[in-house]
């Protein structure tokens, strides 16, 4: 449990120090297409903190957001900062290992190609690796 608290606290401190408003998408219905509000928030952001976990690639919602984030990062050079939580950057980059297993259900999806490119681009960025430890 302590590890989860540390990760959350570290990210909150990082966001506060960067003087940016964090977008909370809790009120947006899960499983629906990305809303115009969320797209607007992504476009208006100056900093993206992308937290990759073992299950990240199992969410089409997260993958759609990532495509938009990386599109904005390429076009406007907004800062994208990946955090790899208990997953290797190479697993995200190549969609292998646990990430590949999570992504496998989307192989036939029309958007799979865009998702693969976005995952690779994000994993190629310098970021922060966090490993789950015995205390949580």
Give pTM, 2 decimals.
0.74
pLDDT tens figures, 22-59: 555 555 555 555 577 778 888 888 888 899 998 899 88
pLDDT tens figures, 59-77: 888 899 999 999 999 998 7
pLDDT tens figures, 99-117: 888 888 888 888 899 999 9
Point out the catalytic residue in the list 65, 71, 101, 129.
Answer: 65
Task: Give the list of residues 6+ apart from residue 85 with CB closer than 8 angstroms, or none.
Answer: 7, 51, 52, 53, 130, 132
Active site (annotated) includes residue 65: yes
Could you give all domains of the chain from N- to C-terminal order, each with its CATH number? 2-17+35-130 (3.40.50.10140)
Residue tagged 């646990």 (tokens)? 98
Output the pLDDT for position 22. Answer: 53
pLDDT tens figures, 113-133: 999 999 999 999 999 998 876
Which of 78, 91, 13 is CA-nearest to residue 52?
A: 91
């Amino acid at each position: 449990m302590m590890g989860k608290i540390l990760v959350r606290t570290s990210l909150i401190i990082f966001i506060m120090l960067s003087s940016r408003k964090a977008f909370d998408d809790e009120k947006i219905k899960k499983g629906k297409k990305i809303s115009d509000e969320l797209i607007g928030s992504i476009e208006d952001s100056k900093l993206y903190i992308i937290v990759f976990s073992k299950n990240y690639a199992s969410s089409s919602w997260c993958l759609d957001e990532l495509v938009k984030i990386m599109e904005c990062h390429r076009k406007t050079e907004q800062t994208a900062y990946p955090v790899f939580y208990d997953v290797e950057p190479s697993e995200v980059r190549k969609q292998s290992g646990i990430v590949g297993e999570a992504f496998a259900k989307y192989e036939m999806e029309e958007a799979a190609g865009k998702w693969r490119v976005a995952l690779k681009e994000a994993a190629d960025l310098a970021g922060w690796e966090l490993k789950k430890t015995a205390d949580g």
